[in-house]
Structure formats: C-alpha cells, structure tokens
C-alpha cells in the first residue's frame, strides 16, 4: 500500500508532497477516494486521508463543506438518513467499514460519537451512562455496571459534580454538564475512536474550556476526531488539522503548519478569516 | 407626517387584533353554550331517574323498574376486549410503518389507505363485521364479534395517532442510541417508545372513547336484541349503552324517554372518566420524563 495520502487536485490548487509527520505511523483511520451522496448531490468528493492513532485531528471549513458528513461516514451514522450512498473505502485498523459483512452495530460501539447539540436520554444520569453497557451486554452484574458508570463519569470529569444525584434526571443538568454526560456515555462502551461533531458550539466559554481540557486528557487513550467551526479551538486542541472546502479535502497537515504556514492559498485565506 | 401615518396604521392593526380576539371568543361561546344547553336539557329530563337501582337494574317492561347494568357492563366489557385486540396490533403496525417502513412508494400507498380507512363511515365496518366475524368466523352475536368489529374501526385511528407520537420523538435521541451501538429494536424499545408513550396513550384512549359511543356498527352485527343479563364471557350475547338508549328512545311511552336521558348521563360519565384517565396518564408520564 502506498504511504502517500492522495491529496485531491482542485482547480488552481496544486497537489503537494506529503509531510513526513503525517504518515510516519500506521493510520488508525484511512479514507480512500471516498465519495458521498445525498440523493443526487455529491457532498464529498474523492476524500483520501490517513488519521493517526492517539492524536486529536480537527476538521475545519465553512458551513456545508462536508466536514460533518465526512465525520459521520466514519461510524456509518449517515446510514440512517434515507437515500444516501457512500463510494470508496474507509479503513479502520485496516478493515473496510463499508465492506461486506461489516456489523454496523459493533462498529458504532468501537467508534463513539458526541453530537453538536447535547442529547442526553430523558432518563437518570446513571441510566444514560449505563445504557450503552446494557444494550451491548457489557456488564455482568449490578456492581460491575456501577463501577463502569463511575469510571466513565470520572474520565469525563463529571463524577464529583453528579455523584450525589446519579438518579436525578439528566435533563436537569446544565448544558456543559449534559455534553460531558454525553462524552461519559460514549466512553462507557470503551471505544477506540471518539468522533466529536462541534461538541462545544452551544456552550459558554467556561464549559467550552472544560470540554477542551477533557479532549486533551482523553487523547492518550483514544483517537479523537473533532469537527469545529472555531479556528482558535482547532488550533488549541488538535495535533492535525484537515481543511475542507466544497466537499473536498484541500489540505491536511500538522495543526501548527496549517495555521502558520499553510501550503494552499485557500487554506491561508480561510484560517486568516478572509472568507467562511 | 410619517409619524402620524405610522400611528394610524398601528391603531388599525391593534383594532384588527382585538377584533379577531373577540370573534374567536364568540365562536368558543357558541360551542360551549350549545354543549352546556344539551347537557342541562338531558339532566333536567333524566337526572331525577339516576339512582343506584337504575345503575344495577336490568331491562324491564315497566320503565320505573328498568336499569342499565347489562348495557353498562356490556359497554365496559366490549371496550376492554376492543383495546386488547386493537392496541397491540395498532401500535406494532405504527412502529413498523414509522421506524422500519422507510419512504418507499409501497409505504406511502399504505399510509394513504390507512388515512382513508380512518374516514370510512362506521356502518361499513358493521357490515364487514357481520360478514366476517358473525357469519364467516361463526362468532355469532357475541362480545367477541362486537369487539372485533370495533377493533377494526379504531385500528386506523390508533395507527395514525401512534405514528404522530413516534414522529414527535426528537431524532437526536435515536442518533444518540445508535451511536452507542444499540440495534434498531433496542433504540425503539428503550428510547423511542418511552418518550412516545404519553402521546400513544392519549391517542388510544381518545380512539376507544369514540368506539364506546358507536351504535351503527353494533346494530348492524345484530346487537339490538333483548338481552336481560350482564355478559359473562366473550361468547355471551351483549348490548351496550348507546343501543339501550336507542332502544328506549324508540318507545312511545314518556317514562322510557326519561330512562334514555338517564342512560345518556351514564354514558357521558363513562366517557368523561376515560378522557380524564387519558389526561392523568399523559401528565404522569410527562412528569416522569421531565
């Protein structure tokens, strides 16, 4: 297999030589010429990218550029939208998740997801975290279930705030707490990859900071892919950044390079705020 | 100059606003007053006849001895069997159509037909019940035949209201469940149904309230006969309150008219109890979820 990522050619944009830093380890997630369609509309065009394990990769780009769509192809969340179609390959640990015989339910347990708008179930805090364990049959006994719920809440830095009201409704929590609960819920089923779709876009600066600290701490255990509208956030939390524009991947490189010395004019215009 | 013009427009707009409010209030009054007059009229006709003996009495040739026990128990029994038959089938059908059916042409044709079925006159269901349940399946003029007929009648309404309730469940809850590796069935059973339950209960009880007042389909299957006892099994012959009312109203003696008015009050009380139960259940589950 070739080690060089296929950078799509774009009108007026020349393909660049890959940066060694991007390719020196086996990829955790690898997309190969991925196209995605909503009905007759092509939302992703020939996306090829190699995402490294145990780092934070940020997807940036203007609204409608395909970054969320691409994120949702990585756990096949788009499957539940009618009339959608993916072409090409997405390899996770070398296995094509769009290949025949793939168990989508097992895939989604391995590739967790946190959504833009926090979506706790209308149940207790405990039951929110326990749900994934229960449906996947991952806890044998009540005490094991309780241990894993506590562990997950601790990983999401929420345990101290909620340990005395585990059986209260999750809907009574603040917005930032709800989003951390959704992260705890995703961590409970022990995924290796965590996808985050603008996880802090609806939160105030303090809650956002807590989520960002959490992302920093979690990347040692998980491979994290985060979609964000906020370029400062991408610069703060990510190690690698991919810039999407009109359904294409324009540039993918180390975050510091994207923000200080991008290879493409289009990237530079976007990160310096000239459009988007 | 412009300011005066703006003030004039603003005054006219506020007048229009007030006018519409008054109009809406008047229309509401017309509806409430006619309903109130109807109930007051029935109460003045039959209120004096209401007594424990009337509730627990059986039909009689003498109006002052006649009661509604056989019809009241018949109504309750028939509606319970109707619920047992129609609710599981209706809810399951709605879950299939909403969660599994997709947006295919076939699904849309089925949906259109169910909407049409909900609007079919009830006497047509009576004819179907007579042909299918009473004759072909040889159930006779039993509680089971009556309940099966009413179950067919309310099924489209239950399916439609359940689909509405399922559709009102936020998609983010489904996504959250799928993203944790839940199967479709687990998502429906553990997340979607509990959230939709108050809506399903309300729709179902309102559909059953409609069925309890139905007369035509049950007359069609032959429930308009002299029944002197409360039904004791699903194979018993039966009568229901609306049929008893119909029966008494069609007699020439004034005393039976009084009985009919009193029976209408019993039927109204039964209906109000069911609707109150619907509201109570909805509030209870909504509180639990909130």
User: What's the pLDDT band for B134 if we cut at 50, 70, 90?
Assistant: confident
Of A82, A119, A135, the CB nearest to B186: A135
For A98-137, the pLDDT digits (tens) are 988 899 999 999 999 999 999 999 999 999 999 999 999 8
In angstroms, the separation between the Cα of residue A172 and the nearest Cα of chain B is 8
- Across the interface, whether the CB atoms of B182 and A171 are under 8 A apart is answered no
Is there a single domain that holds both residue B151 and residue B237?
yes
Judge if B80 and B211 occupy the same domain.
yes
Nearest CA in chain B to A186: B180
CA A275 to chain B, closest CA, distance in angstroms equals: 31
Q: Decide if B190 and A131 are in contact by the 8 Å CB cutoff.
A: yes
So what's the pLDDT on residue B198? 87
Q: Phi, psi at residue A10, to the nearest 5°?
A: -130, 145
pLDDT of residue A24: 57
Q: What per-residue confidence (pLDDT) applies to A276?
A: 63
Helices (H), chain B: 2-46, 52-56, 69-95, 105-118, 122-129, 143-167, 171-179, 184-186, 193-212, 216-220, 241-249, 254-289
**One domain for residues B18 and B76:** no
Contacts of A131 in chain B (CB under 8 A): 177, 180, 182, 190
Q: For all residues of chain A together, what is the average pLDDT? A: 87
Residue A25 per-residue DSSP state: S
What local confidence, expressed as pLDDT, does residue B287 receive?
Answer: 62
Using a CB-CB cut-off of 8 Å, the residues of chain B touching A132 are 180-182
At B20, is the pLDDT very low, low, confident or very high (cuts 50, 70, 90)?
very high
Domain at B277, CATH number: 1.10.3720.10
Phi and psi at residue A33, to the nearest 5°: 45, 55
pLDDT (0 to 100) of residue B275: 87
Per-residue pLDDT, B189? 93
Residue with tokens 């509680």: B143
| Cβ–Cβ < 8 Å for B46, B261 | yes
Q: Which of B174, B180, B186 sits opposite A186 (nearest CB)?
A: B180
Residues B36 and B135 in one domain: no
> Which chain A residues are Cβ-neighbours of B179 within 8 angstroms?
75, 77, 108, 112-113, 115, 186
> Which of B168, B175, B180, B188 would best serve as a mutation to test chain A binding (most A beta carbons within 10 A)?
B180
B29 lies in which domain range? 2-49
pLDDT for B5 equals: 65
**Sheet of A223-227, strands arranged across:** A111-114, A193-197, A223-227, A56-60, A240-245, A248-254
Same domain, residue pair B153 and B273: yes
Which of A17-26, B98-107, B223-232 has the least mean pLDDT? A17-26
Residue A119 to residue B195, Cβ atoms within 8 A: no
Give B287→chain A minimum CA distance, Å.
11
Among B150, B154, B186, smallest CA distance to B90 is for B154
Q: What is the pLDDT of residues B34-44, one digit of tens each?
A: 999 999 998 88
**pLDDT tens, residue by residue, A64-88:** 899 999 999 999 999 888 889 999 9
Cβ separation of A121 and B191 shorter than 8 Å? yes
Residue B214 is predicted with a pLDDT of 86
Task: List, edge to edge, every strand of the sheet that includes A84-92.
Answer: A41-51, A29-38, A84-92, A95-96
Is pLDDT above 70 for B288?
no
Q: Identify the closest residue of chain B to A115 by CA–CA distance.
A: B176
> Which chain A residues have a beta carbon less than 8 Å from that of B174?
80
Q: What is the mean pLDDT of residues B174-182?
A: 93
Share of chain B above pLDDT 70, in %: 97
- Sequence-ordered list of residues with C-beta below 8 angstroms from that of A188, at least 6 positions apart, any chain: A129, A130, A132, A133, A148, A149, A152
At residue B17, does pLDDT exceed 80?
yes
Q: Contacts of residue B191 in chain A, CB cutoff 8 Å? A: 121
pLDDT at A29: 93
Quick one: CA torsion of B6, B11, B15, B18, rounded to 10 degrees? 100
Residues of B with CB under 8 A from a CB of A: 102-103, 170, 172-183, 186, 190-191, 194-195, 289-290
Mean pLDDT of A183-197: 93
Right CATH for A20-117+192-271 from 3.90.70.10, 3.40.50.300, 2.120.10.30, 3.65.10.10: 3.40.50.300
- How many other CB atoms sit within 10 Å of the CB of residue A249? 28
Q: Which of A112, A121, A132 sits opposite B173 (nearest CB)?
A: A121
Indicate if the pLDDT at residue A9 is higher than 50: no
- Domains in chain B, number: 2
Compare CB distances from A131 to B170, B180, B195 and report the shortest one's residue: B180
Query: Residue A232, exposed/middle/buried by CB under 10 A (0-12, 13-18, 19+)?
Result: exposed
Task: Calculate mean pLDDT across residues A151-161.
Answer: 90
Average pLDDT over residues B165-175: 92
pLDDT at A14: 40
Judged by CB atoms closer than 8 Å, whether chains meet at A77 and B178 is answered as yes
Nearest Cβ partner for B179 among A112, A136, A169? A112
Whether the CB-CB separation of A242 and A34 falls below 8 Å is answered with: no
Give the whole-angstrom CA distance, residue B281 versus residue B279.
6
Q: How far apart are CA A163 and CA A161, in angstroms?
A: 6
* Least reliable range by pLDDT among B48-52, B169-173, B175-179: B48-52
Picking from B13, B33, B49, the residue at the C-terminal end of a domain is B49
Mean pLDDT of A254-271: 92
B267 with B132, same domain?
A: yes
Q: pLDDT at position B183, please?
A: 92
The mean pLDDT of A210-216, rounded to a whole number, is: 91
* pLDDT tens track for B104-125: 788 888 888 999 998 889 899 9
* Interface touch A186/B179, C-beta < 8 Å: yes
ipTM of the complex: 0.85
Residues on chain A bordering chain B, Cβ-to-Cβ distance under 8 angstroms: 75, 77, 80, 82-83, 105-106, 108-109, 112-113, 115, 117, 119-122, 131-132, 135-136, 169, 171, 182, 185-186, 189
Q: How far apart are CA B235 and CA B231, in angstroms?
A: 8
Mean pLDDT over A245-270 rounds to 92
Closest by Cβ to B180, choosing from A120, A132, A169: A132
Over 60: is that where the pLDDT of A268 sits?
Answer: yes
Angstroms from A20 CA to nearest CA on chain B: 34
């Amino acid at each position: 297999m070739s080690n060089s990522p296929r950078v799509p050619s774009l009108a007026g944009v020349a393909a660049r030589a890959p940066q060694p830093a991007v390719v020196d380890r086996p990829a955790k997630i690898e997309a190969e010429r991925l196209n995605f369609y909503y009905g007759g509309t092509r939302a992703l065009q020939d996306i090829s990218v190699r995402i490294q394990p145990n780092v934070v990769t940020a997807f940036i780009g203007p609204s409608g550029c395909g970054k969320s769509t691409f994120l949702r192809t990585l756990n096949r969340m788009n499957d539940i939208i009618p009339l959608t179609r993916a072409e090409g390959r997405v390899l996770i640990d070398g296995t094509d998740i769009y290949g025949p015989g793939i168990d989508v339910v097992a895939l989604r347990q391995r590739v967790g997801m946190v959504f833009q708008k926090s979506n706790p179930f209308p149940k207790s805090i405990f039951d929110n975290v326990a749900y994934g364990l229960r449906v996947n049959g991952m806890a044998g006994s009540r005490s094991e279930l309780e241990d894993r719920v506590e562990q997950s809440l601790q990983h999401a830095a929420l345990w101290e705030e909620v340990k005395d009201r585990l059986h209260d409704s999750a809907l009574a929590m603040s917005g930032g707490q709800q989003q951390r609960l959704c992260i705890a819920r995703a961590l409970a089923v022990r995924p290796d990859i965590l996808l985050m779709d603008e996880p802090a876009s609806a939160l105030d600066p303090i809650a956002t900071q807590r989520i960002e600290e959490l992302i920093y701490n979690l990347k040692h255990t998980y491979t994290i892919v985060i979609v964000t509208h906020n370029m400062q956030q991408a610069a703060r939390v990510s190690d690698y950044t991919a810039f999407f524009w009109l359904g294409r991947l324009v540039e993918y490189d180390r975050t510091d390079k994207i923000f200080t010395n991008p290879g493409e004019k289009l990237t530079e215009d976007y990160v310096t705020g000239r459009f988007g | 100059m412009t300011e005066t013009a703006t003030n004039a427009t603003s005054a006219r707009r506020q007048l229009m606003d007030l006018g519409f409010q008054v109009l809406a209030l008047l229309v509401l009054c017309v509806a409430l007053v006619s309903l109130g007059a109807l109930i007051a009229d029935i109460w003045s006709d039959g209120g004096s006849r209401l007594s424990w003996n009337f509730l627990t009495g059986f039909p009689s040739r003498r109006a002052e001895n006649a009661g509604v026990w056989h019809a009241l128990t018949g109504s309750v029994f028939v509606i319970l069997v109707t619920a047992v038959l129609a609710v599981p089938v209706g809810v399951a059908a709605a879950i299939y159509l909403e969660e599994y059916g997709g947006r295919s042409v076939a699904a849309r044709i089925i949906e259109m037909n169910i909407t049409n079925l909900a609007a079919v006159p009830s006497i047509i269901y009576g004819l179907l019940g007579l042909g299918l349940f009473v004759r072909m399946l040889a159930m006779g003029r039993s509680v089971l035949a009556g309940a099966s007929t009413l179950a067919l009648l309310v099924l489209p309404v239950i399916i439609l209201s359940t689909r509405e309730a399922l559709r009102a469940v936020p998609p983010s809850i489904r996504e959250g469940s799928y993203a944790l590796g839940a199967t479709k069935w687990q998502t429906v059973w553990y997340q979607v149904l509990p959230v939709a339950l108050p809506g399903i209960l309300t729709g179902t009880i309102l559909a059953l309230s409609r069925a309890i007042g139905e007369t035509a389909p049950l007359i069609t299957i032959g429930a308009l006969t002299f029944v002197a006892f409360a039904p004791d099994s699903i194979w018993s012959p039966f009568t229901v309150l609306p049929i008893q009312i119909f029966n008494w109203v069609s007699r020439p003696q004034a005393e039976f008219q009084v009985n009919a008015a009193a029976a209408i009050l019993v039927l109204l009380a039964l209906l109000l109890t069911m609707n109150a139960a619907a509201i109570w259940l909805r509030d209870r589950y909504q509180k639990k979820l909130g």
